[in-house]
Structure 1
Amino acid sequence: MGERYLVREAKTREELDAIMDVIWSANYTPYEPFMQLFFPVLGYTAACRELAIAESKERFWQCHQTDPSSHWFYALDTTTNKPVGSAQWVISTSNPFAAGTSKLTAPWWPEGEYRSFCESILNQVYRPRSNWMTRPHCALNWMAVDPAHRSRGIGSLLMDVGVSRADKLDLECWLEASAMGRPLYEKFGFHSLLKIAFDIERPCASDEWRRCAHELTPDPCFAMWRPKKSAAAGELRLPWALGTEG
């Protein structure tokens, strides 16, 4: 496995575009509602899907270019010279929420109930980070493995590159895990702290909102935390006992 798959950090637009192809493939087998929140296909034809893929590639490249904490890694299949797995690790060497946090928006959706629903879900996932990710840390934002290459250790390779960097920098780690991904993360020392279920209720909800709730509500996820390497040998102190600058 180690000889067939090599982990590299993406440096070019071409590499990140190939990473996005992996993410699209991975999240439709099986179908993951969270995918549609980030990458809506606004229509029913192949052309609509291609437009959505192109938009997502441009958006993620621009975000990556403007965020020095963003690090995208991919597993390269040396037999085909194509990426077959990817992960984004965000490395924050200071409190990223020192200036506070603002409401997340989803401008990739047209104005309307779908955008409002998407923003509601995203804020339920990411805004709580401002309460617990206040110390320097590494956060896993994305993890995807091409369906044809699963169960070959690719997820472990992508986890190892992130936690190894965290250990070198003596940083704790955070992520939000699906039920499917949770066992992998536990193997790398992550602890499940709480389960996040989504509030999709709205007084006098429109038919469109109810449709969003039916089609796009993700399964509950788990907030997971990995302590600093330097803390592993001593008594484990959970994150809420560490203050803001530990």
Structure 2
Amino acid sequence: MASITVEKPPAAVKMSVSKENRYIIKEANTRQELDDILEVIWAANYKPYEPFVQLFFPVLGYTEAHREAAIMESKERFWSQHQADPSSHWYYAFDTVSGQNVGCAQWVISERNLFAAGVPNLTAPWWPEGECRDFCESILNQVYQPRASWMTRPHCALNWLAVRPSHRLRGVGSLLMDVGISRADGLNLECWMEASTMGKPLYEKFGFRSLLKLAFDNERIDASDEWRKCAHEMTPPPIFAMWRPKKGVWKSEAGEQTKLPWHLGTA
């Protein structure tokens, strides 16, 4: 995937969320940093439990060893994907008090139409072949349909944002949003994300608005018991396709409403 050439920010950007300037935002550059980020994602998505976590990180068994194997696989996969994609930028919030990584975000910056060939068919090779993989791929492709249909221009996309449960409501999510929005505005890019109900109020504070609420179709004619089990356990709640125009400007100085993505054409 081609990416826009940007100057990397300093290794650590200090941003205040309290009088003590407790949290520091850093960009991940090493395997260890990304491994620590995956630990945050696992922790965040199990409190409360998000069905999406099982789509991306299947635990193929019931023991602690099965869970550890799933965590190890996810770390290998995310590191490989990150290395292969120069448009991928992972940031994390470092807590100077506990010495822990307590939050993370992946911002992806693209300088061309990623979907010139149409909507891609997403696959989930981290699942064994079978109906569970088919179910996962069905959900992922439904998630991606609005993005691939409407984001046919250079843009900045938030793919992941997670905060450890013990550090929520302390401004960590806002710091991770700040760094991505600052880069997008510096490059004059519109922004995109798929948001949960829990995350939506935070994103709205940064100029995102919901364009579409997407409920997932998990029906299949003559569905097997395995498919029905997947539908029962792994169908996510509805999500919101959210967009932010360049610089977050929804109305011009003349009072004209900003054109929405489906009116903006392609790159």
TM-score with structure 1 setting the length: 0.97
> For 1:40-62, what per-residue CA distance to the aligned partner results, in whole angstroms no more than 9, with x for missing partners?
00011111000000000000000
When structure 1 is superposed on structure 2, of 226-235 and 83-92 the one drifting more is: 226-235
Choose from 79, 93, 97 the match for 1:79: 97
Aligned to 1:95: 113
- Give the secondary structure class of the aligned counterpart of 1:15: helix
Choose from 166, 171, 189 the match for 1:148: 166
In 1, the alpha carbon distance for the partners of 2:159 and 2:261 equals 19
In 2, the alpha carbon distance for the partners of 1:178 and 1:36 equals 15
Which segments of structure 1 move beyond 6 Å, counting only runs of 4 or more? none
> For 1:171-202, what per-residue CA distance to the aligned partner results, in whole angstroms no more than 9, with x for missing partners?
00000111111000000000110111100000
Aligned to 1:161: 179
Q: Is the 8 A contact 2:208 2:248 kept in 1?
A: no
Q: CA deviation at 1:86?
A: 0.3
In 2, the alpha carbon distance for the partners of 1:134 and 1:150 equals 34
In 2, the alpha carbon distance for the partners of 1:11 and 1:31 equals 29
> For 1:102-129, what per-residue CA distance to the aligned partner results, in whole angstroms no more than 9, with x for missing partners?
3111111111111110010001001332
Choose from 125, 146, 169 the match for 1:107: 125
Q: Is the 8 A contact 1:189 1:226 kept in 2?
A: yes
Q: CA deviation at 1:101?
A: 3.9
Aligned to 2:7: none
Aligned to 1:65: 83
**Cα gap change, 1:199 to 1:155, in 2 (>3 Å):** same
Identity, in percent, stands at 72
In 2, the alpha carbon distance for the partners of 1:132 and 1:89 equals 18
* Matched residue type, 1:86: C
Choose from 144, 154, 161 the match for 1:136: 154
When structure 1 is superposed on structure 2, of 77-86 and 157-166 the one drifting more is: 77-86
Aligned to 1:187: 205
Are residues 1:242 and 2:264 paired?
yes
Are residues 1:121 and 2:139 paired?
yes
Structure 1 unaligned residues grouped into runs of 5+: none
For this pair of structures, how many residues does the alignment match?
245
* Matched residue type, 1:47: A
- Give the secondary structure class of the aligned counterpart of 1:64: helix
Choose from 206, 223, 228 the match for 1:210: 228
* Matched residue type, 2:200: R
Q: Is the 8 A contact 2:107 2:180 kept in 1?
A: yes
- Give the secondary structure class of the aligned counterpart of 1:189: coil
When structure 1 is superposed on structure 2, of 9-18 and 79-88 the one drifting more is: 79-88
**Cα gap change, 1:232 to 1:200, in 2 (>3 Å):** closer
Aligned to 2:25: 7
> For 1:135-190, what per-residue CA distance to the aligned partner results, in whole angstroms no more than 9, with x for missing partners?
10000000100000000000000001011100000000000111111000000000
Structure 2 unaligned residues grouped into runs of 5+: 1-16
In 2, the alpha carbon distance for the partners of 1:131 and 1:67 equals 21
Aligned to 2:39: 21
Q: CA deviation at 1:231?
A: 4.5
Aligned to 2:68: 50
**Cα gap change, 1:89 to 1:230, in 2 (>3 Å):** closer
Choose from 202, 210, 221 the match for 2:239: 221
* Matched residue type, 1:75: A
Q: Is the 8 A contact 1:34 1:218 kept in 2?
A: yes
Q: Is the 8 A contact 1:7 1:75 kept in 2?
A: yes
- Give the secondary structure class of the aligned counterpart of 1:127: helix
* Matched residue type, 1:242: L
